[in-house]
Amino acid sequence: MPRLQKMIRKLVLLLVVGFTVYGCAHGPKIKSLPEQDITIEHITKDKEKQEAIKKLIIRKAEEIASKRMAELAREKQLKQKEIEKEQHRVLKQILKSPPVPIKVPDTILRVLILPYVDANGVFHQYSYLYLKVDEGKWLLGDYLLGPIKTTLMESSAKQRKRKKKLATPLR
């Protein structure tokens, strides 16, 4: 008998804990009442007072809106000034640092070769073939200054005259 009582106590305790956790997890089931619209007629029946209240509400709304707009404009100006300072600082660092050439990378096309069996019956797994479609361009650096610039322009003109392949494999 005592063993049965212990099992019943454990079962009741387990049910109480389970229902408590379940109830807490789902939150209250109380629905809020819809808010009623309060109009000026509910506050006063006098038409003059109603007009005065309307004017007061409009004036206060305009004051609040103008203050908020001024705050937003100030925040925007501060952010703009911070951005300009940061851009100026970065530009100073670029000008102080030694010239480093910057190049846009080459345009590379990656082609997937699907698995196939060749004429000799050899099975080839899938693989990738990389093709250089376009040469990268230099954007910044000392190489554009002086006589090197003319040689670069001459060599690019010679390349344009020659017929160039659309893509060359990288191997």
The 10s digit of each residue's pLDDT in 135-158 is 887 776 544 444 544 444 555 556
- Count the Cβ atoms, other than its own, within 10 Å of residue 152: 13
Looking at the structure of the chain, the number of domains it has is 2
Are 86 and 141 members of one domain? no
Domain end position, chosen among 58, 80, 96 = 96
3-state secondary structure of 121: coil
Whether 151 and 106 share a structural domain:
yes
Same domain, 164 and 107: yes
Q: What is the pLDDT of residue 16?
A: 83
Residue 169 confidence (pLDDT): 62
Residue that terminates a domain, selected from 51, 79, 96: 96
Domain end call among 51, 78, 96? 96
* Residue ranges making up the domain that contains 48: 40-96
Does 20 map to a domain?
no
Measured distance CA(106)–CA(170) in Å, rounded: 12
Please report whether residue 145 resides in a domain.
yes
| Residue whose pair of structure tokens reads 């100030």 in the numeric block | 74
> Under a CB-based contact definition with an 8 Å cutoff, are residues 144 and 165 in contact?
no
Query: Is the overall model pTM greater than 0.85, yes or no?
Result: no
Nearest by Cα to 57 from 47, 65, 69: 65
* pLDDT tens digits, 48-85: 888 888 888 899 999 999 999 999 998 988 898 898 88
